C-alpha cells in the first residue's frame, strides 16, 4: 500500500513539475528576447499592459502577408486600450534586413522580437504562423490560435472572415466577459 502511495506521489510531482508556460503564467515573465534592433526585451514588461498579444510571424508565409492589414488594424484599435502587440520571429531562417523589410513593407508598427533559440516558441507551444496568444498582465494565456476564420485549411480561404476570434477575445477580456473559445487550431506555415 505504501509503495502505491509512493508511486502516486511521484507521478503527481512529475506531472506538476512538467507544466508548460501556458500552465504556469509567471514563467513567461522570465523570458528575455532581443528586439529587431538587438536591444534586450524582458517579458516582465507585459505586466504593465492590461493584456498583450504575442503573434508568431514569418516573412515568407502567405498567411502572414495576407494578415498584415488586419494586424495593423488590431494594433491601432487595441493599442489605445492598453493591449500591446508583439510580433515574434522564431528561428534563424531570416536575416535582420529581411525581417525589417517585412515589417516596413507591411507598415507594422508593433515591436518585433527575435526568438532564434525557440525559447518563447517552446514555452507557448507555438507551431504555426500566424499564431496569436492573448496574455493577461498576470501572464495567463487567455486565448491562443487563429486571428479569425478567413483561412480554414492550408491553401483554402473564405471570401471574408465570419468569426473574429482574436478580436472577440480581446473585447471580451476588456469587458470582463469570459473568452470563448479560448483556443482555436492555428492554420498557416509551420515554424521551423
* Average pLDDT of the segment spanning 89-114: 96
* Domain assignment of residue 75, given as a range: 21-190
Write down the mean pLDDT value for the chain.
Answer: 89
Quote the pLDDT of residue 26. 60
Instruction: Output the pTM of the full model.
Output: 0.86
* Average pLDDT of the segment spanning 20-42: 83
* Chain position carrying cell 515591436: 111
Distance between first and last Cα of the chain: 48
Quote the pLDDT of residue 142. 97
* 101 vs 59: CA distance, rounded Å: 9
Query: Does 10 map to a domain?
Result: no
Quote the pLDDT of residue 24. 61
CATH number, domain of 42, equals: 3.40.30.10
Quote the pLDDT of residue 6. 36
Beta strands in 48-159 (DSSP E): 51-56, 83-90, 111-115, 128-129, 131-136, 141-145, 151-153, 156-157
State the CB neighbour count (10 A cutoff) for residue 39.
Answer: 8
State yes or no: pLDDT of 1 exceeds 90: no
Give how many domains the chain has, as a whole number.
1
Query: Does 119 map to a domain?
Result: yes
Quote the pLDDT of residue 13. 32
Q: Could you read off the pLDDT of 104-114 as tens digits, one per residue? A: 999 999 999 99
Q: In which region does residue 62 sit, left (phi positive, over 0), alpha (psi from -120 to 50) or beta (all else)?
A: alpha
Q: Could you read off the pLDDT of 140-157 as tens digits, one per residue? A: 999 999 999 999 888 889
DSSP, collapsed to helix, strand or coil, labels residue 168 as: helix
- Cis status of the peptide bond prior to 130, with omega within 30 of 0: yes
Query: Does 15 map to a domain?
Result: no
* Average pLDDT of the segment spanning 72-85: 97
Amino acid at each position: 500500500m505504501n509503495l502505491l502511495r509512493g508511486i502516486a506521489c511521484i507521478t503527481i510531482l512529475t506531472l506538476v513539475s512538467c507544466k508548460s508556460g501556458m500552465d504556469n503564467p509567471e514563467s513567461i515573465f522570465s523570458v528575455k528576447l532581443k528586439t529587431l534592433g538587438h536591444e534586450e526585451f524582458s517579458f516582465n514588461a507585459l505586466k504593465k499592459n492590461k493584456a498583450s498579444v504575442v503573434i508568431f510571424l514569418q516573412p515568407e508565409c502567405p498567411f502572414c502577408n495576407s494578415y498584415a492589414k488586419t494586424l495593423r488594424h488590431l494594433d491601432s484599435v487595441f493599442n489605445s486600450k492598453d493591449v500591446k502587440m508583439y510580433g515574434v520571429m522564431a528561428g534563424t531562417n531570416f536575416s535582420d534586413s529581411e525581417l525589417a523589410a517585412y515589417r516596413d513593407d507591411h507598415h507594422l508598427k508593433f515591436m518585433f522580437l527575435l526568438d532564434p533559440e525557440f525559447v518563447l516558441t517552446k514555452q507557448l507551444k507555438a507551431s504555426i504562423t500566424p499564431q496569436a496568444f492573448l496574455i493577461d498582465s498576470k501572464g495567463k494565456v487567455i486565448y491562443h490560435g487563429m486571428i479569425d476564420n478567413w483561412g480554414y485549411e492550408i491553401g483554402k480561404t473564405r471570401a471574408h472572415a465570419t468569426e473574429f476570434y482574436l478580436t472577440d477575445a480581446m473585447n471580451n477580456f476588456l469587458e470582463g466577459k469570459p473568452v470563448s473559445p479560448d483556443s482555436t487550431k492555428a492554420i498557416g506555415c509551420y515554424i521551423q
